[in-house]
Amino acid sequence: MQLNSLLLTQVEVAVADDTVALPSTWDPMGGSGLKEVDLLPASQKYQEVAAEFTRTGLANNIVKIVRIQNESLWKGYQVKKASLDSKNGHSNNERRLFHGTHGPSVDQINNHGFNRSYAGKHAAVYGNGTYFAVDPKYSASSTYSRADAQGHRHMYLALVLVGEFTVGSQGMVVPPEKNPGKSADMYDSVVDKTASPTMFIIFNDVQAYPSYLIVFM
């Protein structure tokens, strides 16, 4: 099951190079596979991301907001999105969610995306995947967004393909089957609760894209 998922992901990323365009809002890549763009505080996008960050009452000072332009991650994500949209018969598979991290992980995430191999570093009560929160206050906890030597903390506003989901449990390494005995028909992610979930967990790294890095104090 896991091998098939890995092979599918590799094929998707390979196909993506020829079929997916980069966002028109991105700065020119200039031949680079990764570009980190500091947003101007007066720009509309900066204001939108800042509003998402503060919408539930966070009063932390924003140091900067960085748009992560990673060509290969973006293309792999978009191909996976098209696959989920086709499988589920609708396009309501994507959410904007938050992920807190500490400074040393930022370069890894910007270059290679989120990595579920680090699951379990904190309590992974809903499975050994990558966790994303609906409420930025959860991700801003010092448990996840630990301050660096300059007092800076780090959080991503990410695009996440949650698709169809169910409640997770400790020890899960893939989403469960929708119907027992039908391993080809699995949920796309898991949550803490199905009614108004507060967190989503994915087990396939290509299902999330680190759109914006918010550096705050």
Rounded average pLDDT over 152-158: 98
Among all chains, which residue has been given the structure tokens 């992901």?
9
Rounded average pLDDT over 177-202: 92
Q: How confident is the model at residue 97 (pLDDT cuts 50, 70, 90)?
A: very high
How many domains does the chain divide into? 1
| Interatomic CA distance for residues 46 and 38, integer angstroms | 9
| Interatomic CA distance for residues 144 and 125, integer angstroms | 15
- pLDDT (0 to 100) of residue 3: 40
Among all chains, which residue has been given the structure tokens 């992920």?
99
Q: How confident is the model at residue 44 (pLDDT cuts 50, 70, 90)?
A: very high
pLDDT, one tens digit per residue, over 114-149 is: 998 876 555 689 999 999 999 999 999 998 999 999
**124 part of a folded domain:** yes
Q: How confident is the model at residue 11 (pLDDT cuts 50, 70, 90)?
A: very low
**26 part of a folded domain:** no
Reply yes or no on whether the pLDDT at 107 is more than 60: yes
Tokens of 169: 């449990």
**27 part of a folded domain:** no
Range of the domain at 147: 2-21+32-216
- pLDDT (0 to 100) of residue 5: 44
Q: Give the full edge-to-edge strand order of the sheet including 208-216.
A: 34-38, 62-70, 208-216, 153-161, 94-101, 130-133, 199-202, 189-191, 165-167
Q: What is the CATH number of the domain that holds 119?
A: 3.90.228.10
Reply yes or no on whether the pLDDT at 31 is more than 70: yes
Average pLDDT for the chain? 90
3-state helix, strand, coil in the chain (%, to 5): 30, 25, 45
| Interatomic CA distance for residues 35 and 181, integer angstroms | 44
pTM (two decimals): 0.89
Q: Residues with Cβ < 8 Å from 81, sequence gap 6 or more?
A: 93, 94, 161
**192 part of a folded domain:** yes
Q: Do residues 169 and 141 lie in contact, with contact meaning Cβ atoms separated by under 8 Å?
A: no
**6 part of a folded domain:** yes
How many alpha carbons lie under 13 Å from residue 92 in its C-beta half-sphere? 2
| Interatomic CA distance for residues 203 and 172, integer angstroms | 9
Among all chains, which residue has been given the structure tokens 């993506």?
16
Percent pLDDT > 70 in the chain is: 89
- pLDDT (0 to 100) of residue 6: 40
**212 part of a folded domain:** yes
Q: Do residues 93 and 189 lie in contact, with contact meaning Cβ atoms separated by under 8 Å?
A: no
Q: Greatest CA span in the chain, whole angstroms?
A: 54
**90 part of a folded domain:** yes
